[in-house]
Amino acid sequence: MVVVVEAVVVVVVAVVAVAAVVVEAVVAVVAVVVVAVVAVVAVVAVGKKEVSMGGIVCVLVIDSCSQKEPS
């Protein structure tokens, strides 16, 4: 009976570890998508010369991107 309990605990720990990795991966992908969307919105906004509430955030995103990848 003790062996069964230990086996269940090992399985549960393994499942939790895998779930944590999957969640981290999903969060990373979502973050990249959000940054990409904000960057596109910023480019469109700058192209149309529109100022919105998100303008400052978009400009900061563009600045950080241009610093990482100077073009």
- Per-residue pLDDT tens digits for 10-55: 999 999 999 999 889 888 888 888 888 888 877 777 766 555 545 5
Report the alpha-carbon distance of residue 18 to residue 63 in Å, rounded.
36
For the chain, what is the domain count? 1
- Helical ranges in the chain per DSSP H: 2-48, 55-68
Q: What does the pLDDT read at residue 44?
A: 75
Residue 10 belongs to what domain range? 2-68
59 Cβ contact partners less than 8 Å away, ≥ 6 residues apart: 42
Q: Write down the pTM of the prediction.
A: 0.45
Q: What does the pLDDT read at residue 69?
A: 47
41 Cβ contact partners less than 8 Å away, ≥ 6 residues apart: 54, 58
Report the alpha-carbon distance of residue 62 to residue 50 in Å, rounded.
15
